[in-house]
């Protein structure tokens, strides 16, 4: 077991990376440009933290859009019958939920403006350049399961070129030093880091991003895949409480602790489950 000192150092490092400092690194690319071939593992972290309210979002993730494009997307987003494959048997499809702070930030300008595509891909709302959106959350059936909750969003564009341009803007923002930390509405994002994207769809982008919610660091692993004129965003998320992690480790070192699941650890960042990606892309296609 790691010492209490090393765990505190790890906790402080993650909090700094996602709270106060801007992380910037090398990028991913279009197909054939540094992708990881779809390799993805399910995080060991439990999706706990402050409860997100539906705040009127309902099962459509906040979209009241009745347009033909929205109806088409809602027919393509994951439903309970799509989780019958063995790799997804411990998951269920739930309404897309979000915090009131996130809901209040819908349509808000980002500072810098070029960073907005990063927060758009994590939001249960239609981006300004898209025609419609539909979303669900694929969550573990039991809180104790060592699985991560994943928000799935489908965004419809008027053409493949429009979708390609939108994804190019996401990729550029993930790589931009100025977007290492930015604000969109009332939410401050930080720790933005581009990642290797899976070889899925026509092209894809992946990145990590963090935000604060109450005492928690809210961590997101984002994969965005373009399938024709549709962008599909997968956002695996969990909550990390630096103070609780440090306190629990000190208790265990002193002979205390229990066998119950504790707070998310510093090295348990979320990962987008490959099975969720495959199931959704199969339905979109």
> pLDDT tens-digit profile of 196-231?
999 999 999 999 999 887 777 888 999 999 999 999
C-alpha 27/C-alpha 175 separation (Å) is 6
pLDDT band per the 50, 70, 90 thresholds, residue 245: low
> pLDDT tens-digit profile of 85-125?
899 999 999 888 776 766 766 667 899 999 999 999 988 88
Instruction: Give 28's contacts (C-beta < 8 A, 6+ positions apart).
Output: 34, 35, 171, 174, 194, 195, 196, 197, 204, 205, 206, 207
Contact between residue 124 and residue 65 where contact means Cβ atoms under 8 Å apart:
no
What crossing angle do the helices spanning 4-19 and 242-253 adopt, rounded to 10°?
180
Residue 223 pLDDT: 98
Check whether domain 25-241+268-284 has CATH 3.30.1490, yes or no: no
Highest mean pLDDT among 165-169, 218-222, 261-265: 165-169
> pLDDT tens-digit profile of 178-199?
999 999 888 899 999 999 999 9
Contact between residue 285 and residue 227 where contact means Cβ atoms under 8 Å apart:
yes
Answer whether 0.85 is exceeded by the pTM. Answer: no
Contact between residue 97 and residue 52 where contact means Cβ atoms under 8 Å apart:
yes
Q: Looking at the predicted structure, is the pLDDT value of residue 131 above 50?
A: yes
Residue 148 pLDDT: 87
């Amino acid at each position: 077991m790691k010492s209490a000192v090393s765990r505190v150092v790890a906790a402080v490092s993650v909090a700094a990376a996602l709270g106060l400092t801007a992380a910037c690194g090398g990028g991913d690319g279009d197909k054939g440009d540094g992708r990881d071939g779809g390799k993805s593992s399910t995080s060991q972290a439990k999706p706990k933290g402050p409860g997100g309210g539906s705040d009127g979002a309902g099962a459509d993730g906040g979209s009241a859009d009745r347009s033909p494009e929205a109806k088409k997307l809602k027919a393509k987003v994951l439903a309970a019958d799509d989780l019958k494959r063995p790799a997804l048997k411990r998951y269920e499809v739930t309404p897309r939920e979000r915090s009131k702070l996130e809901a209040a930030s819908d349509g808000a300008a980002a500072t810098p403006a070029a960073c907005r595509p990063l927060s758009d891909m994590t939001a249960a709302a239609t981006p300004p350049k898209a025609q419609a959106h539909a979303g669900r959350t694929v969550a573990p059936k039991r809180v104790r399961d060592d699985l991560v909750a994943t928000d799935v969003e489908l965004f419809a564009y008027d053409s493949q070129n429009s979708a390609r341009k939108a994804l190019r803007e996401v990729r550029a923002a993930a790589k931009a030093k100025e977007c290492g930390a930015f604000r969109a509405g009332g939410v401050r994002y930080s720790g933005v880091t581009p990642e290797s994207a899976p070889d899925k769809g026509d092209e894809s982008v992946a990145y990590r991003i963090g935000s604060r919610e109450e005492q928690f660091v809210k961590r997101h692993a984002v994969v965005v895949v373009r399938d024709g004129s549709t962008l599909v965003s997968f956002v695996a998320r969990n909550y990390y409480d630096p103070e609780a992690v440090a306190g629990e480790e000190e208790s265990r070192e002193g002979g205390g602790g229990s066998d119950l699941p504790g707070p998310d650890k510093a090295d348990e960042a979320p990962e987008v489950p490959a099975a969720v990606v495959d199931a959704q892309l199969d339905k979109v296609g």
